[in-house]
């Protein structure tokens, strides 16, 4: 395994600068594929995604997602569960406050 890595790393180091400008296409394709899956499952209504190369190894990824209020609440709940109880409680309090005031 070490011999394979010894041969692969120098080859990759030479090829990477040539392939790096193509990364925005690859990133956009993967983000869109995941968003398409979420749309098909009904988690989101619609989406737009675009990646722009700002410089070497510096990218701007823009994602626009359309959600219903219920979808947004479900996503925020999922994110808060992952982030931890303290942060999650704060996020859910904000979502409940927004829901009570019917802020869209």
Q: Is pLDDT at 53 greater than 80 in this prediction?
A: yes
Q: Is pLDDT at 104 greater than 50 in this prediction?
A: no
Q: What is the DSSP string of 25-59?
A: HHHHHHHHHHHHHHHHTTS-SEEEEEEEEEETTEE
Per-residue confidence (pLDDT) for residue 72, from 0 to 100: 85
Q: Residue 40 — very low, low, confident or very high, per pLDDT cuts 50/70/90?
A: very high
Domain ranges of the chain: 21-66, 67-104
């Amino acid at each position: 395994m070490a011999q394979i890595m010894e041969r692969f790393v120098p080859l990759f180091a030479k090829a990477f600068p040539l392939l790096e400008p193509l990364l925005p296409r690859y990133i956009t394709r993967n983000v869109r594929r995941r968003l398409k899956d979420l749309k098909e499952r009904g988690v989101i209504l619609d989406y737009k995604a675009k990646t722009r190369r700002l410089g070497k190894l510096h990218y701007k990824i823009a994602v626009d997602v359309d959600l219903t209020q219920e979808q947004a609440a479900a996503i925020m709940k999922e994110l808060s569960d992952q982030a931890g109880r303290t942060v999650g409680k704060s996020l859910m309090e904000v979502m409940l406050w927004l829901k009570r005031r019917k802020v869209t």
